[in-house]
Amino acid sequence: MLAQLDTIQTEALAAIAGISDEASLEEVRIAFLGKKGSLTAAAAGMRDVPADQKKDVGQKLNEVREAITSALEATSADLIAKKDAAAFASIDPTLPSRPLPKGGLHPLTLVLDEAVKVLRRMGFALAEGPEIETEWHCFDALNTPADHPARNESDTFYFENGKLLRTHTSSVQIRTMEKEVPPVRIIAPGSAFRRDEIDATHLSAFHQLEGLYVDQRVTLADLKGTLEYFFREIFGSKTEFRFRPHFFPFTEPSFEVDIKLHAAGRPSKWIEIAGCGMVDPAVFSEVGRKRGDAAYDPDKVTGFAFGMGLDRLAMIMYGIPDLRLLIENDVRFLQQFR
């Protein structure tokens, strides 16, 4: 009996070893383990085994069944794995990707968003105002003399009713102070317009980012600290910049901020990047006159304001040589900013 079982095992393993498809494997399984299979038949002979051998034969029977079953399973798994592999064998993973439409944001949006992120971390909230402005909001309230050249029709777009297209986002300073009481800590991104023919460095409409902080004890040192932090966040902690005394009608003292630009293969140079200063008391007085209250009493509040050109910032950050690229919407240009 034990010898017969050894023979069955040898025959079965030999049969399994020669198999290359699942159907033949099933036939082999039936031939040995099926109802009429040889091992099943041998198991039926257990009842004729003498009692003292029953234990050994039973154990042997289990060993043989185990060996055949595991050989069947291993071969089956092997066959399935081969079939699965064959199913994907024709795929060439080095083919180019199946395309998806690709889009992206305009470089001005990216620059603005970068600036807004930093300034929001610094506690500035956004503000806005109309682009079609009154002369009062754009010039008078900002301490600009009545015969200032910026008011010329040759420099500023006007409408028949006397309103104009704002020449700077500084008008939002006035709009905000009209509505809110100090402390005011705002930034206002937006369009501004100047009557310039369009060329590589001029657009008739451009983008600015205005900032204003008014409170009881705002100082020039705060302005310095704020802009230094801002520009280091934008251009890196090693950025060199300088505050150059300048003149604006609505701030005093006034400065322009230059950063040092390092371009490969060229001598580094200072590039003007922002204008800033302490809000001129005359601006507070005019706002107070309009409000009819003392919220902006120039003896009680001080403030700083700053403004920068986003188009210029984009040109510097991305090395864009010509402003017109920013309004032509050529996809070959836009896709460089994805």
Partner 1 sequence: MNVSLQWLGDHVDFSEYSIQQLDELLTFAGIEVEGIESLPNHLVVAQILSSEKHPDAEKLSVCQVDDGSGKPRQIVCGAKNYQVGDKVPLALPGCVLAAGEGKSFEIKEGKLRGVDSLGMMCSAKELGLAADADGLLILSPDLKPGTPMAEVYPAVFELEITPNRPDCLSHLGVARELAALAKKPLKGRAHFGETNTSARAAKADEVRLESGACPYYTARIIRGVKVTESPDWLKQKLISIGLRPINNLVDITNYVLMETGQPLHVFDLAKLEGGIVVRQAAEGETFLALDGKEYTLEAEDLVIADAKKAVAIGGVMGGEDSGVTETTTDVLLEAAYFNPQAVRRTGRRLGLHSDSSYRFERGVDPLQVAGVSEFATKLILDLAGGKADAELVVAGCPGEGPQPVALDNDYCRRIIGAEIPDATIDGILASLGLEKTGGAWKIPSFRLDLVRPIDLVEEVARVHGLDGIPATTMATFASASKADEAYDFLRSLQDRLASLGFHEARNLKLISGAQLADDLATSHRGMSPVRLKNPLNDEQDYLRPGIVPGLLASASRNVRFGTSDLRLFEAGRVFVASPKGDEIEHEHLALLMTGARIHRSWADSKPKSLDLHDLRAVLEAICPEGVNFVPVSDGKLLCACSVEIGSGKKAVKIGMAGIVPPARARELDLDAPVMVAELNLKKLMSVVKTEIRFADLPKFPGSSRDVAMLVPGDLAAGEVAAFFEGYDESLLISAELFDVFTDPTGAKLAPDKKSLAYSLLYRAPEKTLEAGEVEAAHGKLLDSLKKTFHVEFR
As measured in angstroms, the least distance from the Cβ of 254 to partner 1 is: 8
Site residues (CB under 8 A) for partner 1, limited to 23-52: none
* Cα–Cα dist 230/217, whole Å: 20
Return the number of the residue (55 or 148) whose C-beta is nearest partner 1.
148
Amino acid in the structure at residue 178: E
- Counting residues that bind partner 1 (by CB under 8 A) gives 84
As measured in angstroms, the least distance from the Cβ of 273 to partner 1 is: 14
What crossing angle do the helices spanning 51-88 and 2-17 adopt, rounded to 10°? 0
Which of 46, 80, 126, 294 binds partner 1 (CB under 8 A)? It is: 126
Residues 6 or more apart whose Cβ sits within 8 Å of residue 13: 67, 68, 71
Return the number of the residue (18 or 93) whose C-beta is nearest partner 1.
93
Which of 72, 174, 280, 286 binds partner 1 (CB under 8 A)? It is: 280
As measured in angstroms, the least distance from the Cβ of 286 to partner 1 is: 14
Q: Which stretch binds partner 1 (CB under 8 A): 26-34, 66-74, 112-120, 135-143?
A: 112-120
Binding mask 147-186 for partner 1 (x = CB under 8 A): x-x--xx---xxxxx-x-x-----------------x-xx
- Beta strands across the sheet bearing 241-248: 125-126, 184-193, 205-215, 302-309, 269-279, 251-261, 241-248
Return the number of the residue (20 or 152) whose C-beta is nearest partner 1.
152
Task: For residue 134, report the phi and psi dihedrals to the nearest 5 degrees.
Answer: -85, 155
As measured in angstroms, the least distance from the Cβ of 131 to partner 1 is: 6
The answer to whether 265 contacts partner 1 (rule: CB under 8 A) is: no
Burial of 200 from C-beta contacts in 10 A (0-12 / 13-18 / 19+): exposed
Amino acid in the structure at residue 194: R
The answer to whether 263 contacts partner 1 (rule: CB under 8 A) is: no
Tokens coding 6: 């050894």
Site residues (CB under 8 A) for partner 1, limited to 198-257: 203-205, 215, 217-222, 224-226, 228-229, 243-247, 252-255
* Cα–Cα dist 275/251, whole Å: 10
